[in-house]
């Protein structure tokens, strides 16, 4: 997928694709394995065919078929993987901001949400304005 095509994908659509755990797993799986057959993905994620088909259709633009009919991440899929990694890194780094009160550990949800949104905005601006 060319950079010009990437710009055509709306930010909302980008986040819709990343909003489901199975699609995030597919992106991570393909990043780690470079390319995989349909059957390999199916078995690695322990999914039914209809379920995998549904998610692969939703991921149009994020995955592409090779000449051997294997799946791999497109350039846009690679950007999505990088974004997921960045959010994970910042999320768990910020999760250290835990407050201990009366011997009970509580999670500062507001801090976590604020930092997560900031990380998403930073990464999105960096990727789309930097591209």
Tens place of pLDDT per residue across the chain (131 aa): 444 555 555 777 778 888 888 999 999 999 989 899 999 999 999 999 999 999 999 998 899 999 999 999 999 899 889 888 888 777 666 555 555 444 455 556 666 677 777 777 777 776 666 55
Instruction: Please give the pLDDT value at position 94.
Output: 56
The neighbouring-strand residues paired with 64 are 72
Which residue has 């057959």 as its token pair?
37
Given a contact cutoff of 8 angstroms between Cβ atoms, the answer to whether 28 and 84 are in contact is yes
Max intra-chain CA distance, the chain: 61
Of 24, 20, 127, which is closest to residue 75 (Cα–Cα)?
Answer: 127
Query: What sign has the CA pseudo-torsion 92, 32, 43, 71?
Result: positive
């Amino acid at each position: 997928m060319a950079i010009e095509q990437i710009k055509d994908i709306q930010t909302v659509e980008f986040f819709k694709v990343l909003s489901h755990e199975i699609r995030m797993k597919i992106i991570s799986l393909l990043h780690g394995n470079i390319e995989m057959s349909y059957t390999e993905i199916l078995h690695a994620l322990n999914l039914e065919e209809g379920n995998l088909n549904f998610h692969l259709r939703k991921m149009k633009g994020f995955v592409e078929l090779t000449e051997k009919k294997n799946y791999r991440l497109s350039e846009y899929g690679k950007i999505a993987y990088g974004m997921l990694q960045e959010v994970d890194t910042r999320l768990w780094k910020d999760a250290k901001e835990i407050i201990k009160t009366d011997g009970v550990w509580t999670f500062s949800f507001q801090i976590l949400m604020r930092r997560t949104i900031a990380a998403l905005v930073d990464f999105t601006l960096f990727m789309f304005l930097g591209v």
